[in-house]
């Protein structure tokens, strides 16, 4: 299993790749003209897992990663790969 950031048209997606090759988005960062927003996905309702107004992508990434959202989707104890993979 792997956890990595992948570039998207409007920001970045935190992806969980399972051993069978399936991909699941477990978090994302959205760049808007005025701010950076971040969400750590969950299977339920948890408004504390989203936040607006980050000044940098690095801070938004740290926020998302602090929740270890991949664990909720079957990822277990994993480290996020450094860097960002290109858009697909």
pLDDT digits (tens, 9 = 90+) for 24-80: 999 999 999 999 999 999 998 999 999 999 999 999 999 999 999 999 998 889 999
H runs (alpha helix) in the chain? 57-66
3-state secondary structure at position 16:
strand
- At 26 the pLDDT is 97
* 88, pLDDT greater than 90: no
- At 76 the pLDDT is 87
- At 75 the pLDDT is 84
User: What is the C-alpha separation between 71 and 66, in angstroms, rounded?
Assistant: 12
Q: Is the pTM of this model over 0.75?
A: yes
């Amino acid at each position: 299993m792997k956890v990595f950031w992948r570039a998207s048209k409007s920001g970045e997606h935190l992806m969980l790749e399972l051993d069978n090759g399936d991909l699941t988005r477990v978090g994302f960062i959205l760049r808007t003209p005025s701010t950076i927003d971040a969400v750590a996905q969950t299977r339920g309702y948890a408004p504390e897992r989203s936040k607006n107004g980050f000044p940098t992508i690095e801070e938004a990434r740290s926020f998302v990663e602090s929740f270890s959202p991949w664990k909720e989707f079957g990822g277990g104890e994993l480290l996020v790969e450094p860097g960002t993979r290109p858009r697909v």
